[in-house]
Structure 1
């Protein structure tokens, strides 16, 4: 029963007025549009309404299609039309034909304004929610999405809603509270820069702390450095780790079984505060805040208290990396985060890259009181990759390391002291 449902509300139509009042003209338009789209007309029925207060009445009509239906309603007094197209995709993919039918009618009615909606209906396998469209909102006005062929697991943990899907585009995909976190086929766009921006700038990292990152992706990248002796993964939600171990091996690649990795389940800020308060507490060459977005319940970990404590846990020469949101869609949030980092650390190096799963240009930052990643030449980065025997990098190299810190002007505007961000 799965299919595509399209609706459109048209205003100020500048078409031949007969299309809004004459059932014969409207029927002929619909017949031609259906045939042109390659759909199969079974029957048509139209009903004209009488004149109203001296004005022509509208028409309501429907086309019964072998693939499903087309419904049309007109309001000549306001030049309005509503359209409803639905096709079943049981035996064939009729979605392109539905799109073509709607496009033909939009051209014919020539609206001054229009509002359209696209809805995926039903599923081949309802128990798995197959073929559902997964949408995420970048801000109040912009969303994007991917089709899922199968929902592998859904659960609400003590902290958040967790979902794992199979998708045609990205393979297995993890979503938390309705937001994309990581996927099998694009994870390297995110995890490699998050891990290696600081790890390759550092001459000899031996210890690392990953806060969040329960999918294991950042840990797997950091563990590629042979000199790394210990990595603490502090994840709030044990269910994220369980789902990753069960479904996302292509992302963590067995990192949870590495003897150097110590898993700590619980409040990450509490863990950092305990280490900072203990004179014998651990200090780290690298800290990665691999968290959900700054406008989620993880928000306190992006705040001044958490970042000050994280700074206290950095060993001499150490650096911290975090993502800060999209400079395109979350400009004010990025500006606030950069301003806070600038007050806390001597070196703040924001960088940017395109993350396909996130659908946009994404912002990250590497901060430290002593280590400046931009001061490390591309040749040094490439040499460290070779001498450390780091293989299987799909994104990162010396040239990329340098290039990612070159900010476009709209991103530079968000730096402290650059004035109010403009759209």
Structure 2
């Protein structure tokens, strides 16, 4: 079959029709070597659903197959996969590689939206056509429905939050530090434009003011309109003060202003230092200089909370940020939680010179939750609190000691 176009045609046509695909045109072209001998075949079938292409390389005893279908009126993916598998079996190769890529959406318009966790690994879910898709002065914002997660927000191609799993991230970011603090009154959130962190913080009745420093007002406005199940009105709560400013500049100014407010809690609810498509909007807020400015902006007994990335997929980032925190604070308590939307175990840390969430006993967590009437929790409780800080050995070892890559 590598040399005979008619034999190849009989196979390809029969199997294509058998797979349920519709042939509307065909071309089989044999090649000749310089001496006139047969030298392989190229074929193309035009399909009502798209096309099939085959190239044979007899000198290498190799074949390349490309089955390409669209899913505009119906999902033809199974037909394409079946045809590919049948053709591979017919050629009976000793070795083969297959790559299956989802093109466009299915019959309902849903598209598999992937985020690269690393250059080698991606995670994603199917999204309906976007409810919102806009380019702000700072980033690309998208909100879309999904079957498993409800409404999902993505920034610059990176998954941020969803209606159905937001509590994994927001409760774990907020409550370990908030419960450890005996009476948090004033908090600063850098980022957090979806309002989920603010909503969790407001469950603590001692909170008098939250400064929400979000660089992009469009994120807040779109969350207001589309992500009510996440912020539950927190974005319009009188105790939440909005500041549309770069977080790095805001914290630097707060640290320099000796007469300005000091915060019991600072939460860095940021995009990654580099997002899926290469955006580095939040990169300055992960530097040693910024973390030390955060420390200067804390009130006595205050704590900083931030996420560190995935200890498996981003071990160097996790270790680097832990080292920078260790260089800035007396107590650094890293912890982990699995976040479904991120497709990975995710790392966070509480850093302070005064308080340590690992020292808070279970009965203290229970008492504070009851005394503060912190309700509607789906993840965090008195048993989960110490469990968050029970780290596997490989996580314990990431950045445990100051090393050569501390950086700035």
Could you give the per-residue CA deviations for residues 194-241 of structure 1, whole angstroms, max 9, x where no partner exists? Answer: 111201222222221111111111111111112222111111111111
Cα distance in 2 for partners of 1:136, 1:261 equals 32
Cα distance in 1 for partners of 2:232, 2:9 equals 60
* Distance change in 2, residues 1:193/1:113 (3 Å): same
Where does 1:13-412 land on structure 2 (aligned, <5 Å)? 19-31=1-13, 33-34=15-16, 37-39=19-21, 46-51=28-33, 53=35, 56-65=38-47, 67-109=49-91, 110=93, 112-114=95-97, 116-121=99-104, 130-295=109-274, 296-412=280-396
User: More deviation in 285-294 or 132-141?
Assistant: 132-141
Could you give the per-residue CA deviations for residues 251-285 of structure 1, whole angstroms, max 9, x where no partner exists? Answer: 11100121211111112233223333333321222
* Distance change in 2, residues 1:232/1:298 (3 Å): same
Cα distance in 2 for partners of 1:20, 1:325 equals 50
Q: Are the equivalent residues in 1 in contact too, given 2:73–2:107 (CA < 8 A)?
A: no
* Distance change in 2, residues 1:365/1:92 (3 Å): same
Match in the other structure for 2:277: none
Cα distance in 1 for partners of 2:188, 2:273 equals 19
Match in the other structure for 1:16: none
- SS for the counterpart of 2:207 is coil
- TM-score (normalizing by structure 1): 0.86
- TM-score (normalizing by structure 2): 0.89
Instruction: Give the C-alpha shift of residue 24 in structure 1.
Output: 4.3
* Distance change in 2, residues 1:67/1:349 (3 Å): same
Q: Are the equivalent residues in 2 in contact too, given 1:150–1:167 (CA < 8 A)?
A: no
Instruction: Give the C-alpha shift of residue 119 in structure 1.
Output: 3.9
User: More deviation in 99-108 or 256-265?
Assistant: 99-108
Cα distance in 2 for partners of 1:106, 1:398 equals 55
Could you give the per-residue CA deviations for residues 10-60 of structure 1, whole angstroms, max 9, x where no partner exists? Answer: xxxxxxxxx322334434443564466454567765333335557642122
Q: Are the equivalent residues in 2 in contact too, given 1:274–1:281 (CA < 8 A)?
A: no
* Distance change in 2, residues 1:374/1:104 (3 Å): farther
Cα distance in 1 for partners of 2:402, 2:264 equals 31
Give ranges in structure 2 of 5+ residues lacking alignment.
Answer: 275-279
Provide the aligned C-alpha RMSD in A.
2.6
Give ranges in structure 1 of 5+ residues lacking alignment.
Answer: 1-18
* Distance change in 2, residues 1:57/1:139 (3 Å): same
Cα distance in 2 for partners of 1:79, 1:132 equals 37
Instruction: Give the C-alpha shift of residue 372 in structure 1.
Output: 0.8
Cα distance in 2 for partners of 1:28, 1:379 equals 76
- SS for the counterpart of 1:390 is coil
Report how many aligned residue pairs link the two structures: 399
Q: Are the equivalent residues in 2 in contact too, given 1:353–1:362 (CA < 8 A)?
A: yes
Q: Are the equivalent residues in 2 in contact too, given 1:234–1:263 (CA < 8 A)?
A: yes
Cα distance in 2 for partners of 1:24, 1:394 equals 64
Q: Are the equivalent residues in 2 in contact too, given 1:412–1:418 (CA < 8 A)?
A: no
User: More deviation in 30-39 or 150-159?
Assistant: 30-39
Could you give the per-residue CA deviations for residues 312-371 of structure 1, whole angstroms, max 9, x where no partner exists? Answer: 222222211101112122221221111111010011111112212212221111111111
User: More deviation in 398-407 or 383-392?
Assistant: 383-392
